[in-house]
Structure 1
Amino acid sequence: MNPTNRICFPWKSFAPLLLILVLLVSCSTQAEKQEASHFKTRGLVLDVHDLSTVDWPRRAKEAGLTTLATHITPSQVAEFIQSERGRQFLQECKTHGIEVEHELHSMGDLLPRSLFEEDSTMFRMNEEGKRVADYNLCVHSEKAVKTVCDNAVKYAKILTPTTGRYFYWIDDAVPMCRCPECSPYSDSEQALLLENAIVNALRKEVDPEAMLAHLAYVNTLEAPVKVKPAPGIFLEFAPIYRRWDKSLLDTGATGWNDTQTITHGEHLRLLDENLKVFPAETAQVLEYWLDVSLFSGWKKPAVALPWHPEVFLEDIDVYAKRGIRHITSFGVYIDDQYIKNHPDLTFVNEYGKGLEYYRLRQ
């Protein structure tokens, strides 16, 4: 064929259209990938020292995580967030597209123990019938509940999560109040009475769409019966008395030390009972797969994490099949010194990518 007789396609004039088509296909592919990620929250909970000494926002992004949560108490985290390093952390999270939440042991800050001398009736009654200031509160004291709510609002204005989800935990693994008004209610129900008041205060004073966690942990693992969650309350299930070298599918397995006799099967029964009270689609599991502090006995120097990726993958399948879309794990003690002593952090990527690329199997 004579080249001069060829029909020449005007590529240059169509270049803008082709570019638009490429971008549309790319955006569509990214959207499909986003939708295909079963777990909406893929998180890690770290204390302020971890966050101060390690570039966690970048590492979280590379691992496929969506969320970093600060820890331990409201006052500690508020001091960090208001510092130069804390503001830098928030900016780095924004740059890398990482959500920020604050998972907090709260009662000592929300109801300061110093108030006991002013009014002991705000504090819990023990089994001997004495008011004590050791932990928690009397949820039938209007003054105590108001004090807690006022302080929760105060901290919420400093520690504002990017997700709208708040975490103000009661003192965990210790009793609630045993006064005549409180004693008919289980510890789970007393916790929920308080949480209902807090979420209502947050929605009135801070964010009309605020959500607040109900922490199911040790003495609050039993699902509440007499008290129903207010709008905005979601379940956070934390099975600390399990073990992590065997998956939840091993229903006869018991806890990680000899004092813990609750089985994996019992944990799953309790989770299922809670999911009859709280919506599965908003429920979050707070796990310990990456919790170096736990495996170190909450003492430093930290030991190398005993990571069992096959157990982790079986566990997330168990949770996903119950409709759970939000997963996070403690990662406390993974700080600069940990990385110096144990430089292999492959487990962080295996955790994040395992969640990111999980697909629900029937």
Structure 2
Amino acid sequence: MKKLLLSLLVLLLCACHSEESFFKMRGVVLSVHDLETVDWPRLAADNGINTIGTHVTPKEVEAFIKSEKGQKFLADCNKYGIQVEHQLHAIHELLPRELFSEDSTLFRMDENGNRVADFNCCASSSKALDIIAENAIHYAKLLPSTNHRYYYWLDDGAPLCFCPECAHLSGSEQALMIENRIIQGLKTIDPKAQLAHLAYHTTMEAPKKVKPADGIFLEFAPFYRSWEKPLSDEFASGRGMTHAENIRFLEDNLKVFPAETAVVLEYWLDVSLFSDWKKPAVKLPWHPDVFMSDLETYAGFGIKNITSFAVYMDDRYWQQYPDQTFLKDYGEGMKRLQ
């Protein structure tokens, strides 16, 4: 009788595991150093994670991918069936700052009417957009994405352009003008290419005056939240923004971008954030109940693609904090949601 019950239990578990998970993408975003020092393809495969995003800049990732360790990383991801994409702080390399001396109109105008090369670009400069698109194609050839999703981010939370042509546009709308030109270029080398519109900081507000081109998908990064309480707790807040405000931004963006292609870029695993971007790293403050509640929230919006920064999870981190239970919670938690 016991053997029969055990056999039935095994069959039931197998049937459950054979059902397709609601979340198609179950990812982590890692720095080059993390990938150089830890066997992340195996860690991902062991814990139900099916996508790894490299980070931080195009040149850094290019150097890694060309290296022996980078080639082994790609081979191991292929062996385990792990998708590889590249989530990149890219604008400084897509529009090199040294071009300012040749043509300052490529770059943004500040609030005082001065052209400056500090951040981003002039989104109304067709010449700047052509250069950006050309360099995006260059890096897409060097760093192809196995899932056809590309990520070329603007400067992190930095101001955009205030020239007469750009001043009436929000940060989101300026970003989308740049992204629309990039995706046009990417599709010449990858007809299936998709490009992220990152909703983060100055681009959280949904665009109204500019429409996304075919192939642009929403990447929603709720940096201004608490990770000690779930997003469903609307009165909770982090860095001055309530969870209710985060959800409103998500809802507004999903009126512009389709939910089925949207990606949530979370920070549940981001040791670098919880360490205030300083080493030695602190132990990840993991809240599994918050995580599972957040998954339900995102699933309720029809979002099927989830990833999280996991930066600073390098060799030294695992030596100091060897317990990997939270990785199993993370990957398997997303697989359980049907």
Query: Which secondary structure state, in structure 1, belongs to the residue aligned with residue 177 of structure 2?
Result: helix
Which residue of 79, 82, 86 maps to 1:95? 79
- Tell me the residue number matched to 1:117: 101
Write out aligned runs for 1:32-111 (5 A).
33=17, 36-111=20-95
Equivalent position amino acid for 1:268 in 2: I
1:137-166 Cα shifts (integer Å, max 9, x gaps): 001111111111010000000100100000
Corresponding residue number in structure 2 for 1:304:
283
Is the alpha carbon distance of 1:274 and 1:35 closer, same or farther for their aligned partners in structure 2, counting shifts above 3 Å?
farther
Asked if 1:230 is matched to 2:224, the reply is no
State yes or no: 1:154 paired with 2:138.
yes
Tell me the residue number matched to 1:9. none
| SS at structure 1 position matched to 2:137 | helix
> Which residue among 273, 287, 298 is the counterpart of 2:252?
273
Which runs of no fewer than 5 residues in structure 1 stay unpaired? 1-25
Which amino acid in the other structure matches residue 98 of structure 2?
S
Match of 1:253 among 223, 228, 236: 236
Alignment partner of 2:222 out of 239, 257, 262? 239
For each residue in 1:157-186, what CA deviation from the matched residue of structure 2 results, as whole angstroms up to 9, or x when unmatched?
Answer: 010010000000111211110000001110
1:3-24 deviation per Cα after TM superposition (whole angstroms, max 9, x unaligned): xxxxxxxxxxxxxxxxxxxxxx
Distance in 1 between the 2:76 and 2:144 partners? 16
In the alignment, structure 1 residue 321 sits paired with structure 2 residue 300: yes
Q: Which residue of 1 aligns with 2:274?
A: 295
* Partner Cα separation in structure 2 for residue 177 and residue 102 of structure 1: 26
Quick check: 1:207 aligned with 2:190? Answer: yes
Q: Which residue of 2 aligns with 1:15?
A: none
Normalized against structure 2, the TM-score is what? Answer: 0.95
Following TM superposition, by how much is the alpha carbon of 1:36 offset from its aligned partner in structure 2, in angstroms? 2.4
Structure 1 vs Structure 2 CA RMSD: 1.2
CA shift for structure 1 position 34: 5.7
Structure 1 vs Structure 2: percent identity of aligned residues?
58
Q: Aligned AA for 1:187?
A: G
Distance, in Å, in 1 between the alignment partners of 2:331 and 2:113 is 48
| Bigger Rg over Cα | 1
TM-superposed CA distance for 1:35, in Å, is 5.1
2 CA distance for matches of 1:273 and 1:124?
A: 27
AA aligned opposite 1:278: F
State the Cα distance separating 1:224 from its structure 2 match. Answer: 0.2
Deviations 1:120-153 (A, max 9, x none): 1100001111111111000111111111101000
Partner Cα distance (1:135, 1:335) in 2? 30
Give the unaligned 5+ runs of structure 2: 1-10
The residue that corresponds to 2:7 in the other structure is none
Q: Judging changes above 3 Å, is the alpha-carbon distance between structure 1 residues 244 and 104 closer, same or farther for their aligned structure 2 residues?
A: same
SS for the counterpart of 2:49 is coil
Letter in 2 for 1:236: E
Q: How many residues matched? A: 326
Deviation of residue 262 (structure 1)?
1.1
- Counterpart CA distance in 1 for 2:280 and 2:110 is 36
What is the CA–CA distance in structure 2 between the aligned matches of 1:297 and 1:144, rounded to whole Å?
A: 34
Are 1:353 and 2:337 an aligned pair? no
1:338 corresponds to 2:317: yes
CA distance in 1, matches of 2:173, 2:107: 17
User: Residue in 1 aligned with 2:149?
Assistant: 165
